Structure 1
Amino acid sequence: MIEFIIGTSLAASAGLNAWMPLFLLGLSDRLIPAVELPSSWAWISSDLALWIIGALLALEIVADKIPALDSINDVVQSIMRPASGGIVFGAGTSAQTVAVDDPAGFFSQNTWVPIVVGIAIALVVHAAKSATRVAANAVTGGLAAPVLSTAEDAASFSLAAAAIIVPIVAGLLLIGLIITVIVLMRRWRRRREAKAAAAHG
């Protein structure tokens, strides 16, 4: 159960920011003795991986706060965030990867299941984030982008950090994220329906 909470929280974090949970996982593996990634995921904490992930994290943080560029970034991240979600869910639940010379084992041993679950979770969060951002940009002319992006980065960091250090808190944060997404989507739908009614009226 704890492993599922950890994996789910990390994947949801990836849905908000592809690189945040990967970077925090890698750093934690390097700096916190109590955190040890499974051997098949240890590459996340290598020097090269941390430098690349850190640079991509900084790039996404900046790009996501610039109106218009944030929408382009969301399109690009439609691939990266789910992929990251699959990786961090697999690492967080201690799923093992399979060697390239044994691709059949990937399916016969159900190794793919945690990765697909992580991809699905990150994809759902990413889709909700993108829809909310489009609606907010339309209403505010893009002025809400920096504020929303900062809140999303903070939520991504909090989810990932809590998943690594205090999984129970991560579970509570995850519930809060779900409630927030539902509330925002309902508001967006009501505004859209109100605009449609006004246009027809």
Structure 2
Amino acid sequence: MSVLPLIFTAGWASGINAYAVVFLLGLFGRIGWTDDVPAGLERTDVLVAAGVLFLIEAVADKIPYLDSFWDAVHTVVRPASGAVVSALIAGQDDSLPTLFAAAVGGTTALASHIVKAGTRMAINTSPEPVTNIAMSTAEDLSVGGIITLAVFFPVLAAVIAAILLAIGLWVVYLCAGRIRRYLRRRRERRETRAVDALE
């Protein structure tokens, strides 16, 4: 059976929390829940590094403004991780061309990253920690739940991920005004700091 559903789901999840995807897939492969995970993700050093980075992200992602800064830093990291993980899965299975798998995983990760970063910008137009914590926790649980589901029911997991991605893109579209307001405020703060530094 093609691993395309797993690749799509891993790409979607990588755009939200790449470290959790690497850690969970590596862990599930290590304990024998799936044969679709490449050995490279099951290595102890990879699991430890992904676990530590996931814990750091779990904290940073719940703090207003810091979460958007973290998202900006990971604009390249998440799509790249989605592409690499997808390519490794395809290489393990040989049912899909590696380059195609990387393109699917990377593109899906970029789309879900845009959703994540966009919704956080919208939330941060009225910063308070409760919404950020709730949103981050929901994202972490969604990634964990859907990656786990993908190991046993990859097609169902891919369908859910596709629905969530479509809903997320629609929400970002609806929140475009708030996102522009956040970006404008950030630019104004940066300009103010630059002027103060010159005085």
- Indicate the TM-score class for this superposition, using the shorter chain for normalisation: 0.7 to 0.9
Distance of 1:60 and 1:167 partners within structure 2:
26
In structure 2, runs of 5+ residues without a counterpart are 181-199
Corresponding pairs, count: 178
Contact 1:137 1:144 in 2 (8 A): no
Tell me: CA distance 1:111–1:5, structure 2 relative to 1, closer, same or farther (3 Å): closer
Deviations 1:49-91 (A, max 9, x none): 1111111111111110111211111112112211210122223
Partner of 2:105: 118
SS at match of 1:65: coil
Partner of 2:132: 145
Tell me: CA distance 1:120–1:172, structure 2 relative to 1, closer, same or farther (3 Å): closer
In structure 1, runs of 5+ residues without a counterpart are 98-109, 194-201
Contact 2:60 2:67 in 1 (8 A): yes
Tell me: CA distance 1:164–1:91, structure 2 relative to 1, closer, same or farther (3 Å): farther
Alignment of 1:10-29 (within 5 A): 10-29=10-29
Contact 2:64 2:127 in 1 (8 A): no
Deviations 1:73-119 (A, max 9, x none): 1112112211210122223334589xxxxxxxxxxxx6333213211
Selected match of 1:80 from 77, 81, 85:
77
One-letter amino acid matched to 1:151: A
Distance of 1:26 and 1:192 partners within structure 2:
35
Partner of 1:35: 34
Alignment of 1:22-101 (within 5 A): 22-32=22-32, 34-37=33-36, 41-94=38-91
Distance of 1:125 and 1:178 partners within structure 2:
6
TM-score (norm 2): 0.79
Distance of 2:89 and 2:109 partners within structure 1:
14
CA RMSD between the two structures: 2.5
One-letter amino acid matched to 2:80: A
TM-score (norm 1): 0.78
- The range that moved more, 5-14 or 178-187, is 178-187
Tell me: CA distance 1:187–1:140, structure 2 relative to 1, closer, same or farther (3 Å): farther
Partner of 2:186: none
SS at match of 2:75: helix
Contact 2:87 2:102 in 1 (8 A): yes
